[in-house]
Structure 1
Amino acid sequence: MKRSLIQVVPSILSADFGKLALEAKKVEEAGADALHIDIMDGHFVSNLSLGPKAVAAINRATNLFLDVHLMMYNSYNYIEQFVKSGADRITFHFEATENVEETLQLIRACGIEAGLAFCPETSSSMIVKFLDKCDLLLLMTVNPGHGGQKFIPEMLEKIQFARDICNQMKLYKGGRFLSELQQEKAPVFPFAIQVDGGINHETARQCVEAGANVLVSGSYIYSAPNMAQAITSLKTLK
């Protein structure tokens, strides 16, 4: 994994919710690649967080790519609202719907990237079926619903499994196969495997070594004395 291809995506869940616009602008100026926005419904996870209007407000405040993570049931019914609010990618949970393929198709039909998330306890075997149907795979490295949790080390094996499968399938960015990209003479970039939960300098290094290339980090970045240095530390892992 080339380190230059690592993306750092701060999670606004760890920001001051009374200053969302300012907090979004701060990480943009600090060098973030995108902004992760957690949407929680109080049912799929026990916590409640933001909604489409908050996403729209954040979108007005920043030029960052908005990475919207739906931790909620009935995601399909809310896709278009979040697209209209400014989401550039919508990721939903495999465990929260019986209509995985239909939801992925709808997100892509709206002209944005589609991501699929998996909770720590979900079997790795479920991942394989959907890899070529999404733009990003999110592997939760904590149990979803609350920020500030400790990283689950056992997830490293699942990250490695997912990257190995991508390599075996010759699957690259956007769920595209190498043969397609070569035929189109298109650039080849690694498939996006995102990790979220307990990501700091040390756990980020472990995840990247296992095959992750998109790092969501909340507390580590938002509580850092120097936000730009914290983001750079994850991009370079020095």
Structure 2
Amino acid sequence: MNIQIAPSILSADFACLGQEARRMELAGADLLHIDVMDGHFVPNITIGAPVVYCLRKVTKLPFDVHLMISEPDRYVDAFVDAGANMVTVHAECPSADEALKQLRHRGVKCALSVKPGTPVDAVYPYLDKLDMVLVMTVEPGFGGQSFMTDMLPKIRTLRQWADQFGLPLDIQVDGGVDVNTAPLAIAAGANILVAGTAVFYSDDPKATIRKLRSGRA
């Protein structure tokens, strides 16, 4: 299984975000995970499409944009126009279905995410229409939280479904991923790991990304 690492800019130094993006590219990251929060769907506010547009100018890394917002259907076009390569919306949002339709129409990769309290069954009706499912292994909103091991069964179930139906489904985990928890997520069936603090705060991000990708503690 091809393991990809997506550093989350939520842990970056926002005073020099462009340099931070380039630093992750040089460190060997596969994607750049961009958390968008509206202060309503989650209790935090981060960035919008204009920042994504500016970042697009300074790095070739694919942008994995995670919309933790209440009305994703109103904003997906703006993020695609800004340079997003993949956009994740939340299953808990009433307009998630419409947002996914818009993303498929635009021809970018689309994904659905579930919070820790949401059963994984919520994504089942969409499986054949998704490129990826994101399992939140912390409560979304803030970085630096601890990995919730009780989310591992969700990952296993998703991988079983993907294998059962022959779907080329990526399974991403986000929250508390470090060199100790990454092997757990990979063993359960995840192949894209979002890591914030573990990578951005590392003295050697390149070595940390390599270690995360190895799946060995």
Q: For the superposition of Structure 1 and Structure 2, which TM-score range results when normalised by the shorter chain?
A: over 0.9
- Describe how 1:81-120 pairs up with structure 2 within 5 A: 81-96=78-93, 98-120=94-116
> 1:164 — aligned with what?
160
Q: Does 2:211 correspond to 1:233?
A: yes
> 1:32 — aligned with what?
29
- Could you list the per-position Cα deviations for residues 125-146 of structure 1 after superposition, in whole angstroms to 9, with x for gaps in the alignment? 2121111111110000000000
- Report percent identity of matched pairs: 42
CA distance in 1, matches of 2:142, 2:97: 27
CA distance in 2, matches of 1:142, 1:7: 19
Q: Does 2:135 correspond to 1:142?
A: no
Asked if the contact 1:127–1:162 (Cα under 8 Å) also holds between the matched residues in 2, the reply is: no
Which ranges in structure 1 are unaligned for 5 or more consecutive residues?
A: 173-190
Which ranges in structure 2 are unaligned for 5 or more consecutive residues?
A: none
CA distance in 1, matches of 2:136, 2:110: 16
> 1:76 — aligned with what?
73
Q: Does 2:48 correspond to 1:51?
A: yes
> 1:210 — aligned with what?
188
> What is the TM-score with the length of structure 2 in the denominator?
0.97
Equivalent pairs counted in the alignment come to: 216
Q: CA RMSD in A?
A: 0.9
CA distance in 2, matches of 1:131, 1:204: 24
CA shift, 1:99, in A, is: 2.9
3-state secondary structure, aligned to 2:29: coil
Q: Which amino acid aligns with 2:47?
A: L
Q: Does 2:122 correspond to 1:123?
A: no
> 1:22 — aligned with what?
19
CA shift, 1:54, in A, is: 0.6
CA shift, 1:225, in A, is: 0.6
> 2:64 — aligned with what?
67
> 1:184 — aligned with what?
none
Larger CA Rg, structure 1 vs 2 = 1
CA distance in 1, matches of 2:142, 2:48: 16
Asked if the contact 2:33–2:64 (Cα under 8 Å) also holds between the matched residues in 1, the reply is: yes
